[in-house]
Amino acid sequence: MTKPTILTGLRANNDLTIGNYFGAILPMVDMAKQKAGEYQINMFIPDLHSFTTPINHDELQEQIMNNARLFAAAGLPLDHDDIYLYRQSYISAHSELTWILNCFTGVGEMGRMTEFKDKTAKIGDDRVSVGLFNYPVLMAADILLYNADLIPVGDDQRQHLEFARDIAERMNSRFGDVFVVPKPVKEQHEFFGKDQGLRIKDLQDPTKKMSKSDDSGKGVIFLGDDPEAAAKKIMSATTDTEGEIHFDREKQPGISNLLEILTLLRGGDLQQTIGEFEGQTRYGEFKKVVANETKAFLATFQERLAAVSDEAITAKLRASESAMTQTANATLRRAQQTVGLRPKDS
């Protein structure tokens, strides 16, 4: 009996932030650790998705490897038999199935995707690539090739997951059972637990989210930041003039953000952190605690990252890519037979 498959990926097109770490990488690694055994876990590096918007291609290879190293440094057990870690572009079935699915996808359907409309508005019509337009089709292929039914996604990817279900159902109803249809979003939420909605805020402007593509980077702690420099960013974080520490996201967004960051860094409980500092009046001393914790966290994490063996990573990638090529090619073959590209009995 094959185990049900959980599939998840994280696109890295810049150094990642502590927001990405606590909001995405760590939960992914924890989920993989918890569910492996009962489920097959496909963690992949969506490298073909990396340049749907313009990037510096000289850096891509290093970013792909770093993405894999980050998972390992965050505790992904590379030796677990149920956990696969692979690069999308190393399994050519992703590109091949995408082409087939493209021909059953409506232009209107892609044009209606909220993310496409948002990004187009941001980067301008003339810089938008066909790749950005139809990347939901590639994402559908990423999922369907492995018969994955559980895919944890945030709200921004919900529409794309629904498309993966639509195209699978469309192909199945036209050609018979070709694809496993992923579970509806509601069931996904029930399975993974409703998104905790964790959002670390920018240190300079705590009303907005900390983002890796922020231009100045002043309010952002990157995982690769020099620990001393990161501590300084914490010390110059925007606070307020209330003069007393309280957890109040509306009135004291800066202080509240620092309380949350401290809790995450310590791996503790928010109420406990609040209890420790509630009512204190010396913001400087409180910031110092957070700054020191940030420094220690980055120093330790960077050490762990440096200790990740590239040989171990490469061996894991190769083994997973070879195993997943088999699974993906079997699905691709079904799709090829279905549309008449291969004889039915091949």
Question: Cβ of residue 28: shortest distance to ligand ATP, in angstroms?
Answer: 8
Say how far apart CA 173 and CA 180 lie, in whole Å: 12
Q: Which one of 130, 198, 229, 315 is in contact with ligand ATP (CB under 6 A)?
A: 198
Choice from 211, 292, 325, 329 touching ligand ATP (CB under 6 A):
211
**Residues with catalytic function:** 119, 209, 212
Q: In terms of CB distance, is 168 or 262 closer to ligand ATP?
A: 262
Which residues face 43 on adjacent strands? 8, 85
HSE, side-chain direction, 13 A CA sphere, residue 36: 19
CB half-sphere exposure, 194, CA atoms < 13 A = 1
Length of the chain (residues): 346
Among residues 24, 45, 181, 324, the one that binds ligand ATP under rule CB under 6 A: 24
Considering only CA atoms, which of 323, 313, 319, 318 is closest in space to residue 62?
A: 313
- Token pair of 119 as six digits: 């990004």
Interface with ligand ATP (CB under 6 A), residue from 19, 182, 206, 253: 19
* 199 scored as a contact of ligand ATP (CB under 6 A): yes
Choices 135-143, 166-174, 196-204, 228-236 (CB under 6 A): range interacting with ligand ATP: 196-204
Q: Which stretch binds ligand ATP (CB under 6 A): 111-119, 141-149, 197-205, 302-310?
A: 197-205
193 binds ligand ATP (CB under 6 A): no
Query: The dihedral of CA 43, 326, 100, 64: what is its sign?
Result: positive
Choices 40-48, 206-214, 261-269, 314-322; region in contact with ligand ATP by CB under 6 A = 206-214
Q: Which of 41, 167, 200, 324 binds ligand ATP (CB under 6 A)?
A: 200
Taking CB under 6 A as the rule, does residue 209 contact ligand ATP?
A: yes
For the chain, the distance separating the N- and C-terminal CA atoms, rounded to the nearest angstrom, is 24
- What are the residues whose beta carbons fall under 8 Å from the beta carbon of 140, sequence distance 6 or more? 101, 160, 163, 164, 167, 168
Q: How far is the CB of 187 from ligand ATP (least distance, A)?
A: 20
CA distance 41 to 69: 17
Residue 210 sits in the site that holds ligand ATP (CB under 6 A): yes
Determine the Cα–Cα distance for residues 320 and 71; give it in Å rounded to an integer: 15
Please list every residue from 142 through 161 that binds ligand ATP, using CB under 6 A.
Answer: 154
23 binds ligand ATP (CB under 6 A): yes
| Closest among 316, 266, 267, 326 to 65, alpha carbons compared | 316
Q: Does 121 bind ligand ATP (CB under 6 A)?
A: no
Does 17 engage in binding with ligand ATP (CB under 6 A)? yes
Closest CA relative to residue 97, chosen from 133, 153, 51, 147: 147
Residue 155 CB, nearest approach to ligand ATP (Å): 9
Q: Which is nearer to ligand ATP, 26 or 299 (CB)?
A: 26
Distance of CA 16 to the CA centre of its chain: 10
**Judged by CB under 6 A, which of 56, 114, 173, 213 binds ligand ATP?**
213
Binding footprint of ligand ATP on the chain (CB under 6 A): 11, 17, 19-20, 23-24, 154, 198-200, 209-213
